[in-house]
């Protein structure tokens, strides 16, 4: 259930919080990239069987408040096709800043 942006050492980049249900991790969000005055909220995901319960909203809101309390501005990125996440982020007060086009490369085997 972990997002593709969460790796073994991701927790070293910043605080990560989660929700457990039935003794297993069902939702997660964390901090990753830090720029002067800004902190990225990243690795936001919820297990498909546990969506619609407000977990992502609660986690992102909690991290966003903590970032604001430090005097920083929270930011995040989202794939344009992820309508559910976009809806959550807009309801939390995030706004679109810009559209970016990314290309992912991998080493040929």
Task: Quote the pTM value.
Answer: 0.82
Averaged pLDDT, 43-70: 94
Averaged pLDDT, 21-42: 92
Averaged pLDDT, 47-54: 92
Show the domains of the chain with their CATH numbers.
10-91 (3.40.630.30)
Q: Which of 60, 18, 8 is nearest to 39 (CA)?
A: 60
* pLDDT given at position 58: 96
Residue with more model confidence, 22 or 10: 22
Q: Who contacts 42 (Cβ-Cβ below 8 Å, separation ≥6)?
A: 5, 29, 30, 31, 32, 33, 76
- The tokens for 90 are 């807009």
Distance CA 43, CA 87 (A): 17
């Amino acid at each position: 259930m972990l997002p593709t942006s969460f790796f073994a050492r991701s927790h070293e980049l910043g605080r990560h919080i989660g929700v457990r249900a039935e003794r297993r991790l069902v939702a997660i969000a964390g901090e990753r990239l830090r720029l002067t005055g800004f902190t990225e909220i990243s690795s936001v995901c919820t297990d498909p069987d546990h969506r619609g319960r407000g977990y992502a909203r609660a986690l992102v809101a909690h991290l966003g408040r903590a970032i604001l309390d430090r005097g920083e501005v929270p930011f995040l990125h989202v794939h344009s096709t992820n309508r559910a996440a976009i809806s959550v982020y807009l309801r939390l007060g995030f706004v679109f800043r810009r559209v970016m086009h990314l290309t992912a490369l991998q080493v040929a085997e």
